[in-house]
Amino acid sequence: MSLNDFYLGKYLGKGSFGSVQIVQRKSDNQYYAMKRISMSKLGEKDKKNALNEIRLLASLKHKNIIGYKEAFFDDASKTLNIVMEYADGGDISSKIRNNLKRKLIFEEKTIWNWAIQLLEGIQYLHNNKIMHRDLKSANLFLLKNGTLKIGDLNVSTIAKKGLGYTQTGTPYYAPPEIWKV
């Protein structure tokens, strides 16, 4: 697999180490989201996080977790490329910003629907001893059919002995498990 097997589309988001864009695989004309991580800019810890994300995504199969398709390294661009399910409905953070701008409110049934799906996804992760460690509205993706998907497992970890004691991810969205009372 290589970048030549895909048509590269618009960017969905950019971070300090990489980006996510829509791609279309040439062999089946299916659309996916591809996270492209520039490995030359990463330290050892960040490289481990990138590989960890692939390992975790590949091991998870749940209706409320973004689906993993494949991963490959592109020598020419020195990027690690993770091909995932494309959430054609965007993310909840964008929906919130859009509604604020337009002075709209979400219907209560929509919020309950999202909450239930989010909790089902979190329960699946926790049953597999996985702490997401960066749950926030920007990492909650939607399909046009209303299905919510938890994504961006980059800093997730497997909890070996009960509670986790490390701080990582977006500080404003830190999970309660990491705060020692």
Q: Where are the alpha helices (DSSP H) in the chain?
A: 44-59, 92-102, 108-127
Q: Output the CA–CA distances (angstroms, integers) from residue 61 to 2, 65, 67, 180, in the order listed.
A: 24, 7, 7, 31
CA-CA distance, 20 to 82, in Å (whole number)? 9
Give the CA radius of gyration of the chain: 17
Which residue carries 């497997």 as its tokens? 158
Q: Which one is catalytic: 75, 88, 91, 134?
A: 134
Measured in degrees and rounded to the nearest 5, phi and psi for residue 74 equal -100, 115
Q: In this structure, what token pair is assigned to residue 161?
A: 């002995």
Beta strands in the chain (DSSP E): 6-14, 18-25, 31-38, 68-74, 79-85, 130-131, 140-142, 148-150, 157-158
Q: Is 28 a residue of the active site?
A: no
Any idea which residues carry the catalytic annotation? 134
